[in-house]
Amino acid sequence: MKGPHISVGQRPIPDASTVNMKPLVERMRRSLSVKHLVQSEHGLQIAGQTVRARIESDQTTDERMPLLVIDGRDVSWEEFGRMLMTFEGWQFRLEIGDRSDEI
């Protein structure tokens, strides 16, 4: 599934008409308002110092490689590595959260 993907938990909702959708809508707005990538003369680059992405499987390769979905765009592991080279010598922290968590 490509593009934005926002989950509110693992359990099905028995009657959607009884659910307050306001928190979900607010979460969607926050998620869609932040852009993590920018286009530059060197191609796509990380916009700041934080990137949020969803990990998918890269179906274009026979190897088991990740494909990241950032800002609704497919970003290969190699592309992401090139983007990280802007920060050569820096440190970073990789934090992985459940798809229903807001990170």
Distance, CA of 18 to CA of 75 (rounded, Å): 38
**Whole-prediction pTM:** 0.68
Domains in the chain: boundaries: 19-87
Q: In what order do the strands lie in the sheet with 54-57?
A: 54-57, 66-70, 73-76
pLDDT at 28: 65
Q: Tell me, what's the pLDDT at 57?
A: 93
* Amino acid 36: pLDDT: 87
Q: What does the DSSP 8-state code read for residue 11?
A: S
Q: Which residues of the chain have pLDDT under 50?
A: none
Amino acid 98: pLDDT: 86
Per-position DSSP letters for 62-100, written without gaps between them: SS--EEEEETTEEEEHHHHHHHHGGGTT---------TT
